[in-house]
Amino acid sequence: MKKKMRSLFLPLLACAFAAGLFGLQSNDAARVEEAAARPPSLTEQTVDPAEWGRHFPRQYEDHLRTSELTGTKYGGGGSGSPAANRLEENPRLKILYSGYVFSADYRARRGHAYMLSDQRETLRVKAPFSQSGGCLQCHASNVAVYRNQGIASGAPGTPDEPLTSRNGYDQLMRGFEKVGKMPFDEATKLVNHTLACIDCHDPKNMELRVTRPAFIQGIRALAASEATAAQFPSIEKWRGGNRAEPYDPNAMASRQEKRSFVCGQCHAEYFCNFETTLFYPWNNGLKANEIENYYNSYKFPDGRTFSDWKHENSGAEVLKAQHPEFELWSQGIHSRRGVSCADCHMQSRQEGENRISDHWIRSPLLGKMEACQDCHQSTAEEIRAEVQDIQERTHKMLRRAEDSVVELIRALADARAAGYEDRQLREAQEYQRGAQWRVDFVGSENSMGIHASGEAFRLLTEAMDLAARGRTAVHNIQLR
């Protein structure tokens, strides 16, 4: 019989808060020490992690281990290279993505060490496809590159001013826009490091900071929206103020919020192409439904309503979700309780005087689940069983929901083959858009439901309902 988690959650809250507070104090002290020992040689232009590693060897060694090939049942890319092929593992995806680049090549993710090479090697960036320099934003260390490019296009100041100064931000944004307009092949030549220390840390004091321009703009738009932001106290606080300055995550977020923001700056839904600068669709909120509303209201410069592509078989204008980890996490119990990405994915350990955060960022299931035990008073096996339970449930539901959308696509394709025109099938195509968005939101999110089990389940249920309505709509047209 399955062991219950019962007990774990009862004494947990008090414990979570206590752990959080103590953690904060001891780590702040450690940080101050680190800062005091801070090497003056690190600057806003020190990109190579090896140079940072001379001063912080533990974190550097961990960081290098992201090149180790790992896999769990639903996580990682497996032990082979290139990473596991998602299209072969799940043939439904080929049908869902028909007519789009993702039907050519779509693999499982793996460690940060591979982000640059995997992007350069995917068929999605090779002819006949063409991608923009926007792709670079989350696959390389690019803070220094963006700033230097920004200065070259006339942004004021020098490259060694703090990133978070007015000039620093200005340089970053201008460079980001410039690089985003380049063809991918040209842009990727500008970078030569994968994720590096400077992408998450201020070289002056090692404080956490976000550096991805689209995140800074996206979270700003979220702050300015009406959407709930209870997970982010600093946004609520900003909303209560005079709003003279836009929300700035680096100046305003708490350390605990930054422990999620540094990950959310890349692990998030986005759009980029040659027509528009890369953006995160958070103007109406972070929920899948709110993002969908934003996309449905978004117009390309030529006036077309937003879609990622037109489905080859069904003719529907559809959406593709991409790794919405930040968004799904934000709808789960952990974010509501203030548990950050780093709390689970960067387990800390004590080494003598120092607290070291594990910079071998990976699936928590590969470790001993000690990070979880900071709060959950149960054995590693019990926690694992609970995770497995949620993942299996989500996986089963996900496949059923995908089947349901595939059936709708087939019904639409059959109707088109029988001579029905897209204008007659529009209602059913709209149902496909909604159903497929929800299915893909859960399937492209990389935790198999763990980051927000209830929300994932809700989305899949809605997807099945929409797909069924779509099939009825096709059927009704054929009866007419």
CA neighbor of 402 nearest in space, from 436, 431, 429:
436
The pair of three-digit structure tokens given for residue 130, joined into one six-digit string:
């063409």
Specify the stretch interacting with ligand HEC by CB under 6 A; choose among 48-56, 153-161, 231-239, 294-302: 48-56
Identify which of residues 174 and 320 has a Cβ nearer to ligand HEC in the complex: 320
Assess contact for 253 and 209: CB atoms under 8 A.
Answer: no
Which residues inside 181-210 make contact with ligand HEC, applying CB under 6 A? 195, 197, 199-201, 206, 208
Q: How far is the CB of 413 from ligand HEC (least distance, A)?
A: 26
The three-state secondary structure class of 230 is coil
Q: Does 223 bind ligand HEC (CB under 6 A)?
A: no
Q: In one letter, which amino acid is 442?
A: V
- Give whichever of 97 and 238 is closer to ligand HEC, judged by the CB atom: 97
Of 218-226, 418-426, 431-439, 441-449, the segment contacting ligand HEC by CB under 6 A is 441-449
- For residues 461 and 463, what is the distance between their CA atoms, to the nearest angstrom? 5
What is the closest distance, in whole angstroms, from the C-beta atom of residue 441 to ligand HEC in the complex? 12
Q: Which is nearer to ligand HEC, 56 or 238 (CB)?
A: 56
What is the contact mask toward ligand HEC in residues 106 to 135, using x (rule: CB under 6 A)?
Answer: xx-xxxx-xx--xx--x-xx-----x--xx
With both helix axes pointing from N to C terminus, report the angle between 255-264 and 12-36 in degrees, rounded to the nearest 10: 80
Please state the closest distance from residue 197 (CB atom) to ligand HEC, in A.
3
Q: Residues touching ligand HEC: how many (CB under 6 A)? A: 99
Site string for ligand HEC, 10-29 (x = CB under 6 A): --xx--x----------x--
Q: How far apart are CA 50 and CA 224, in angstroms?
A: 39
Count how many Cα atoms sit within 13 Å of the Cα of residue 35 in the half-sphere of its side chain: 13
Query: 228: exposed, middle or buried (C-beta count within 10 Å: 0-12, 13-18, 19+)?
Result: middle
Of the candidate residues 42, 44, 51, 56, the single one contacting ligand HEC (CB under 6 A): 56
Tokens of 4: 């219950």
Could you tell me how many residues make up the chain? Answer: 480
Three-state SS at 316: coil
Residue 385 corresponds to which amino acid? A
436 binds ligand HEC, rule: CB under 6 A? no
Asked whether position 94 contacts ligand HEC by CB under 6 A, the answer is: no
- Taking CB under 6 A as the rule, does residue 404 contact ligand HEC? no
Question: Interface residues for ligand HEC in 134-173 (CB under 6 A)?
Answer: 134-135, 137-139
- Residue of 47, 52, 229, 442 interacting with ligand HEC (CB under 6 A): 52
- By rule CB under 6 A, what string of x and - marks binding of each residue 347-386 to ligand HEC? -x------xxx-x-xxxxx-----xx-xxx------x--x
* One of 26, 43, 46, 72 touching ligand HEC (CB under 6 A): 72
Distance, in Å, from the CA atom of 121 to the CA atom of 132, rounded to the nearest integer, reads 15
- 34 touching ligand HEC, by CB under 6 A: yes
Find where tokens 């020098």 sit.
158
Contacts 24+ apart (CB under 8 A), 17-22: 19/374, 19/375, 20/256, 20/338
Pattern 312-351, binding to ligand HEC, x per CB under 6 A? -----------x-xx--x---xx--x-x-xxxxxx-x---
Please answer whether residues 70 and 245 qualify as being in contact, where contact means their C-beta atoms are separated by less than 8 angstroms.
no
C-alpha–C-alpha distance, residues 189 and 213, integer Å: 20
DSSP 201: B
DSSP labels, 265-290 = TTSS--B--SSS--B---TT-SSHHH
Tell me which residues in 247-286 interact with ligand HEC (CB under 6 A).
Answer: 255, 259-260, 262-268, 270, 272, 278
432 binds ligand HEC per the rule CB under 6 A: no
Q: Does 398 bind ligand HEC (CB under 6 A)?
A: no
Select 74 or 441, whichever has its Cβ closest to ligand HEC: 74
16, two tokens? 């979570």
